[in-house]
């Protein structure tokens, strides 16, 4: 009878002990229960205005616009503080389109004349709670008591003889769109003789790109004049990117020197890639054959090509991706890092199947280095790391790396080609071992007590 009572007590005590363990583990992980809160949070837009001398510019006018659907935009007129920053707090709905820009084209400050460099953030959206920071800049041109620097190409000398017949191209009017885009050409006021061999013909977009034809051009035919009247359809110039439709403008398919202005490259970049895009054919330029040069003081990137298509500076994302692990208690992180050559690049890292695990809008430092720290779930995971870099030329570069995570094994290994992460899940192991050991000790205690 006593034996049955003792066994009954033993079973009851063991059941109570196991129940306590389950309650403790439940309380430990109760923080993981999602809580839905209805909170309307402000979003903040910060704009930093500086110049190419490394100075922040105070009391500079900045305008931000907020546009909802097809309605007229709402304007916010701001001034930078003594540190060169504006701070605008609003309540966005997630669908509005925002844009901030420098309202004045030039400033004369402390006898220095500054002209707009990076003058607009471009369109962007805001969600409640977002804090977005943008940098706009002015470039030092001259001292205020000096004549303004002239950026337009030198015009072709005017006719010296009125008896020479004019070329058809001299009678056309260039599209207004080119003027609005600040695109200028060498003078087209040419005689037929001059138009047959135009030397050093230049197409230039102020503070963005210069296209200088090294070989003489023949612009004398009426077909040239007809095409130039719609030149905006065949030429596209944007930061770090240029396109000329050589099928419609075969007269411009000549050896050319292209110079991109205001190019911000990493210090001693190990990789700078300029691509020639000709339909489906994409090929990088050769640094030696194409004479690629970068002047870090002037922030000018120049190269020479033998004919025209589309040329674009890529983010120059290095394929050598470094992967490290970090453990902080029960949390497991992957630290991913690499470099880009173009400092205008923005990097986004995420998992393909678990896109909520991500690092967004990473900006590289002056050396082009960037780092992302991904927090991984404590479970088996087969996924792909997706790394995307996009620069001011709007040319994206992607790298994908397979990722495999397996638990309950003591081996750990990493590879940038095929990432295998094997983790020993310590807390589950120790809790299980503790439950078994405690149960054995309790049973032995009651058996010994009964024999006594």
The tens digit of pLDDT for each residue in 204-215 reads 998 899 999 999
Q: Are residues 295 and 341 in the same domain?
A: no
CB atoms inside a 10 Å sphere around CB 118: 21
Domain membership of residue 232 (yes or no) is: yes
Sheet holding 241-244, edge to edge: 235-238, 241-244, 310-313, 274-278, 281-284
Average pLDDT over residues 188-196: 92
pLDDT 10s digits, 224-249:
999 999 999 999 999 999 999 999 99
More confident residue, 14 or 242: 242
Domain membership of residue 196 (yes or no) is: yes
Q: Are residues 271 and 308 in the same domain?
A: yes
Average pLDDT over residues 361-379: 91
Domain membership of residue 443 (yes or no) is: no
Q: Are residues 212 and 280 in the same domain?
A: yes
Domain membership of residue 368 (yes or no) is: yes
The structure's pTM equals 0.57
Q: What is the mean pLDDT of the chain?
A: 81
Domain membership of residue 21 (yes or no) is: no
Q: How confident is the model at residue 405 (pLDDT cuts 50, 70, 90)?
A: confident
More confident residue, 1 or 448: 448
* pLDDT score at 424: 44
Q: Are residues 332 and 260 in the same domain?
A: no
CA distances, 349 to each of 7, 275, 325, 359, 406 (Å): 59, 24, 16, 5, 21
Domain final position from 313, 333, 363: 313
Q: Are residues 79 and 178 in the same domain?
A: no
Number of domains, the chain: 3
Domain final position from 279, 295, 313: 313
Q: Is 293 helix (H, G, I), strand (E, B) or coil?
A: strand
| Residue-level length of the chain | 452
Q: Are residues 231 and 332 in the same domain?
A: no
* pLDDT score at 408: 45
Residue 65 lies in domain: 43-143
What is the spatial distance between Cα 424 and Cα 447, in angstroms, rounded to a whole number? 36
Is the pLDDT at 147 greater than 70? The verdict is no
Q: Are residues 62 and 136 in the same domain?
A: yes
**Cα angle: 246, vertex 248, 252; to 5 degrees:** 45
């Amino acid at each position: 009878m006593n034996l049955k009572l003792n066994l009954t007590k033993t079973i009851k005590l063991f059941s109570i002990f196991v129940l306590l363990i389950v309650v403790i583990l439940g309380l430990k992980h109760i923080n993981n229960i999602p809580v839905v809160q209805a909170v309307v949070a402000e979003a903040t837009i910060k704009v930093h205005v500086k110049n190419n001398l490394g100075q922040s510019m105070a009391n500079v006018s900045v305008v931000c616009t907020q546009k909802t659907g097809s309605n007229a935009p709402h304007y916010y007129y701001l001034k930078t503080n003594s540190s060169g920053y504006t701070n605008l707090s609003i309540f966005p709905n997630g669908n509005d389109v925002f844009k901030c820009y420098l309202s004045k084209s030039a400033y004369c400050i402390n006898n220095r004349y500054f002209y707009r460099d990076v003058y607009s953030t471009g369109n962007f959206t805001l969600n409640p709670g977002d804090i977005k920071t943008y940098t706009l800049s002015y470039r030092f041109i001259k001292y205020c008591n000096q004549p303004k620097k002239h950026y337009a190409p030198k015009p072709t000398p005017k006719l010296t003889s009125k008896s020479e017949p004019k070329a058809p191209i001299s009678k056309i009017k260039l599209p207004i769109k080119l003027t609005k885009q600040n695109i200028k050409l060498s003078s087209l006021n040419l005689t037929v003789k001059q138009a047959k061999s135009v030397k050093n013909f230049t197409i230039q977009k102020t503070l963005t790109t210069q296209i200088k034809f090294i070989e003489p051009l023949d612009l004398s035919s009426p077909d040239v004049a007809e095409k130039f009247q719609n030149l905006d359809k065949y030429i596209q110039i944007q930061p770090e990117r240029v396109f000329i439709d050589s099928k419609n403008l075969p007269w411009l398919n000549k050896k050319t020197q292209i110079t991109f202005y205001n190019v911000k490259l990493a210090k001693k970049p190990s990789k700078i890639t300029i691509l020639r895009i000709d339909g489906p054919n994409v090929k990088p330029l050769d640094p030696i054959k194409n004479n690629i040069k970068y002047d870090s003081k002037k922030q000018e990137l120049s190269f020479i090509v033998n004919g025209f298509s589309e040329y674009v500076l890529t983010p120059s994302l290095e394929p050598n991706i470094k992967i490290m692990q970090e453990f902080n208690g029960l949390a497991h992180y992957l630290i991913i890092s690499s470099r880009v050559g173009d400092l205008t690049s923005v990097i986004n890292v995420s998992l393909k199947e678990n896109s909520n695990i991500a690092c967004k809008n990473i900006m590289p430092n002056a050396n082009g280095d960037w780092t992302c720290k991904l927090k991984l779930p404590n479970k088996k995971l087969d996924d792909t790391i997706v790394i995307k870099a996009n620069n001011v030329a709007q040319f994206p570069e992607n790298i994908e790396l397979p990722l495999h995570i397996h638990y309950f094994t003591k081996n750990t290994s990493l590879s940038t080609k095929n990432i295998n992460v094997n983790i020993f899940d310590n807390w589950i192991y120790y809790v299980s071992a503790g439950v078994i050991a405690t149960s054995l000790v309790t049973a032995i205690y009651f058996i010994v007590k009964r024999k006594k």
